[in-house]
Structure 1
Amino acid sequence: MLLLFDVGNTHTVAGITKDGKDFMKWRLSTHRFETEDELFVMLKTLLDNTGITSSEIDSVVIASVVPSVNYIFHRFCGKYLGVKNFWVEACDGLGIKWNVKNPSEIGADRVANVIGAADICEDAIIVDSGTAITVDVLMSNSYEGGAILPGLMTAAYSLFEKTAKLPQVDLHTPGNCVGKDTAENIRIGIVKGTAHALNGLVEEVKRCFSDEPKIFLTGGQSKILEKLVRYDIKDPDLTLKGMYRYWQKKCTSCL
């Protein structure tokens, strides 16, 4: 049994899998736990409802973009599980060439997404919508880089915090292109504006590489964008699948 932690700036997705295809998963607030003991209590409570015990976990895979909480996961694995843990990073032995200036700067979630997409095709553009929206480009199993945009809620919070009269609104897919009130104006500007930006970026990448890659859509906020952005494959578990494949490849390379 493999335990995976996809540690994001806002939420942490904890997943359990045997085969890397089917996942039992939970979304936790990343900053809700401040010690390894709190993390254990939360996880044990969740596992108790499934009948799975911590003794059934053989390895842990962690993809973290929040360095300030990494020590919690280090201590948790050592204190409560006593199993080997793998930290996702861009490195050799994964079957992918990292054709960027500093591979070590690539976010662990982006590395996992690329590995997950590479399992399906050699040419891919991955759009991951979370606290930040990332666009990653894989061509002929070579990671060529990408782009980073503010996430939908990040953009909304920024407007709310930096303006005196604009309200904080909930975000959903707007049906109009012209708003009749302030809340609708904000939704159209943020959601549709972001969708048009993503569609434009993807088309420019396709022209740049003169290829027809498969477009993947994933991430916690992807439901808001799915009716507005063009994609071939929507997979909410792409990051976890990539983390599983990372673990497989690292274990194989150690043999």
Structure 2
Amino acid sequence: MLLAIDVGNTNTVFGLHDGKSWVAQWRSATDSTKTADDYAVWLTQLCRMDGIPFGDLDACIISSVVPQARFNFRNLARRYLDIEPMFIGGSSVELGVPIRISRPEQVGADRLVNAVGAHAQHKGALIVVDSGTATTFDIVGADGGFEGGIISPGINLSMRALHDAAASLPRIAIQRPSQVIGQDTVSAMQSGIFLGYLDLIDGLIRRIKAEYTEPMTVIGTGGVASLFEGESEEIDIYDPDVTIRGLLEIYRRNKK
């Protein structure tokens, strides 16, 4: 059984695939101070709760944008699964997609995995909008090639920066305001954060489409993508499994 791990700046997603389907997915706050032993105890308990023998885990693939966490996840696979994990970005792991940008070595592992996962499920040219700590807009060609994109601060990061930098502004829950013009501090902040961010997403998508030469399908994914479901005018499909599917596809392409 494959253990797929996607280590993001805010959250880490763990998925178990039995060769036919995903049998479990769990999410944990990313903490680079957690040891391999910590993760092993946590995973063992979750497997037991779902009736999955921990000993059935016999393969592992990892994508990480947090360099400090890689050592502990590598030790988790080596010590508790008795296997050498595949790492996205490692010299021995082939993604199987062309990377058509001037500095391919600078692309985050998560963005390349998203390109693979999105192309595996959705055909034609794509824009993959991944909303997390940062919000990325990645362009995937009709053949699955990675063609660049945009990186902007995520909505939670923007809200936290506003609160931290302005002593009088409270920390608020992110939700759609009842009207655009706020009548108090909280509703004014909600308009600025939620509607402002929604327009950032839709506006950048429109600019990408105006610059690209073919029709494009827009895929929304990521930890906070559900905030904009039914709100964005430009996102066509919400697909929460883009990244984890990409890890599975890359594992299959590299399995000996």
Q: Do these two structures clear the TM 0.5 threshold for a shared fold by scoring above it? A: yes
**Alpha-carbon distance, 1:175 to partner:** 3.5
Question: Following the alignment from structure 1 to structure 2, what is the Cα–Cα distance between the partners of residues 148 and 176?
Answer: 29
* Matching residue's letter, 2:5: F
Aligned partner of 1:62 in structure 2 is 62
> Is 1:243 aligned to residue 244 of structure 2?
no
Question: Following the alignment from structure 1 to structure 2, what is the Cα–Cα distance between the partners of residues 97 and 223?
Answer: 30
Question: Cα–Cα, structure 1 residues 64 and 172, in superposed 2: closer, same or farther, change >3 Å?
Answer: same
Report the secondary structure of 2:4's partner residue.
Answer: strand
Report the secondary structure of 1:169's partner residue.
Answer: coil
Report the secondary structure of 1:98's partner residue.
Answer: coil
Question: Cα–Cα, structure 1 residues 20 and 161, in superposed 2: closer, same or farther, change >3 Å?
Answer: farther
* Matching residue's letter, 1:59: A
Aligned partner of 1:123 in structure 2 is 125
**Alpha-carbon distance, 1:97 to partner:** 1.3
**Alpha-carbon distance, 1:32 to partner:** 7.4
* Matching residue's letter, 2:186: A
Aligned partner of 2:37 in structure 1 is 37
* Matching residue's letter, 2:113: A
Question: Which one is further off, 212-221 or 181-190?
Answer: 181-190
* Matching residue's letter, 1:235: D
Question: Following the alignment from structure 1 to structure 2, what is the Cα–Cα distance between the partners of residues 234 and 90?
Answer: 30
Question: Following the alignment from structure 2 to structure 1, what is the Cα–Cα distance between the partners of residues 184 and 43?
Answer: 43
Report the secondary structure of 1:97's partner residue.
Answer: coil
Instruction: Summarize the alignment of residues 87-126 of structure 1 with structure 2, pairs less than 5 Å apart.
Output: 87-89=87-89, 93-119=94-120, 120-126=122-128
**Alpha-carbon distance, 1:215 to partner:** 0.6
Please tell me whether the aligned partners of residues 174 and 187 of structure 1 are also in contact (alpha carbons under 8 angstroms): yes
- 1:180-214 Cα shifts (integer Å, max 9, x gaps): 11111112111211111111111111111122111
Question: Following the alignment from structure 1 to structure 2, what is the Cα–Cα distance between the partners of residues 90 and 105?
Answer: 14
Question: Following the alignment from structure 1 to structure 2, what is the Cα–Cα distance between the partners of residues 32 and 88?
Answer: 18
Aligned partner of 1:10 in structure 2 is 10
Question: Cα–Cα, structure 1 residues 208 and 21, in superposed 2: closer, same or farther, change >3 Å?
Answer: farther
Please tell me whether the aligned partners of residues 6 and 240 of structure 1 are also in contact (alpha carbons under 8 angstroms): yes
Question: Cα–Cα, structure 1 residues 90 and 173, in superposed 2: closer, same or farther, change >3 Å?
Answer: farther
Question: Following the alignment from structure 1 to structure 2, what is the Cα–Cα distance between the partners of residues 72 and 165?
Answer: 40
Aligned partner of 1:180 in structure 2 is 183
Question: Cα–Cα, structure 1 residues 227 and 34, in superposed 2: closer, same or farther, change >3 Å?
Answer: same
* Matching residue's letter, 1:207: A
* Matching residue's letter, 1:238: V
Report the secondary structure of 2:22's partner residue.
Answer: coil
Q: Which runs of 5+ in 1 are unaligned?
A: none
Please tell me whether the aligned partners of residues 112 and 146 of structure 2 are also in contact (alpha carbons under 8 angstroms): no
TM-score, structure 1 normalization? 0.93
* Matching residue's letter, 1:45: Q
Report the secondary structure of 1:46's partner residue.
Answer: helix
TM-score, structure 2 normalization? 0.92
* Matching residue's letter, 1:103: P
Q: Which runs of 5+ in 2 are unaligned?
A: none
Question: Following the alignment from structure 1 to structure 2, what is the Cα–Cα distance between the partners of residues 24 and 125?
Answer: 27
Question: Following the alignment from structure 1 to structure 2, what is the Cα–Cα distance between the partners of residues 128 and 18?
Answer: 26
Question: Cα–Cα, structure 1 residues 90 and 217, in superposed 2: closer, same or farther, change >3 Å?
Answer: farther
* Matching residue's letter, 1:111: L
Aligned partner of 2:238 in structure 1 is 234
Question: Cα–Cα, structure 1 residues 238 and 23, in superposed 2: closer, same or farther, change >3 Å?
Answer: farther
* Matching residue's letter, 1:100: I
Give the counterpart of 2:172 among 169, 174, 185. Answer: 169
Please tell me whether the aligned partners of residues 32 and 69 of structure 2 are also in contact (alpha carbons under 8 angstroms): no
- The sequence identity of aligned pairs, in percent, is 32
Give the alignment's Cα RMSD to 1 decimal.
Answer: 1.8
- 1:80-122 Cα shifts (integer Å, max 9, x gaps): 1012311123988534210112222212221111101111214
Aligned partner of 1:151 in structure 2 is 154
Question: Cα–Cα, structure 1 residues 40 and 222, in superposed 2: closer, same or farther, change >3 Å?
Answer: same
Question: Cα–Cα, structure 1 residues 84 and 32, in superposed 2: closer, same or farther, change >3 Å?
Answer: closer
Aligned partner of 2:193 in structure 1 is 190
